[in-house]
Amino acid sequence: QWQDFAHLLATRVNAPETYSAIVEKLVTSLGAERVSLLIYNEESKKLLCKAASGLNHDMVSGPRIGEGIAGVVLERGEPLLVRDLREQAWVAERVHGNASSNSFISFPLVSGGKRLGVINLTDRARQQSFVASDLDWLKLFAPYAAAALERIDLHEKAQRFQLLAITDPLTGLLNRRYLEERFAQEIERSKRYQFPLSFVMMAIDRFKSFNDTFGHQAGDEVLRETAHCIRKSLRNFDVAARYGGEEFIVV
């Protein structure tokens, strides 16, 4: 069954599908009534709910590392099993559910010492409590889920690096180098499909004088606001770039 699950995760085409597949597997295999998958964000140091079953995503809080049940579990790297929530009031107060909640598991997802996220499970069918064998199952499950989460993390980082290489850091528009490559492609596409292509170059009037009078920080704000105005006016298939200085291009 683990090979099938690994194949299922490998064939998911995007992060939301992967998150949902992980949650669905937990629901069907452990019979949990409420499941949440919280992913650790390195920048904010918080856990963010990415998929859930039996819960509204908005209901699932995002504790910081070391805070809340999930935050403490992730920091320690050790799972928490509570067979009867009535005997663990401090856990019961923090578990999303209702008064009939009976048992709870919080399980960290870690790969090579890297914190990836936490799985929370509350209640199971027929009022049965979670037991030690459920933790054993999760220990087999966790490496597959962790590998999928790590793959998503690496893919998103690669996309961010790629985006940084083709965008202007000040305005967020495409940069000149990428625009020149893209423009050549658009010309070829225009020829192939016989549709018109428009090229607009614009510059901010008296920008040097403004910079000299009010300073470069104020000038940067003008550039950012101009880029924002251009971006708001684009259609899905239009391309905008900062050509250099105070010059902008729209194709």
Write out pLDDT tens, residues 42-58. 888 889 999 999 876 55
Q: What percent of the chain has pLDDT over 90?
A: 46
State pLDDT tens for residues 28-46.
999 988 899 999 998 888 8
Residue found under tokens 């625009």: 179
**Alpha carbon distance 110, 115 (integer Å):** 5
Dist. CA 138–CA 22, nearest whole Å: 12
Q: Give 209-238 pLDDT, tens digit per residue.
A: 999 999 999 999 999 999 999 999 988 778
**Distance (Å, whole) CA 211 – CA 140:** 61
* Alpha-helical runs (H) found in 2-122: 2-11, 15-30, 68-76, 89-92
Q: Which of 28, 36, 26, 119 is nearest to 73 (CA)?
A: 119
Express each pLDDT in 133-167 by its tens digit.
999 999 999 999 998 898 888 788 877 777 778 88
Output DSSP code: residue 170.
T
The pTM score is 0.64
Which tokens sit at 19? 């998150």
Distance CA(11)–CA(142), nearest Å, equals: 18
Q: Report the C-alpha gap between 122 and 35 in whole angstroms.
A: 6
- Sheet of 46-53: strands edge to edge? 46-53, 32-41, 114-124, 104-111, 80-82
99, pLDDT greater than 60: no
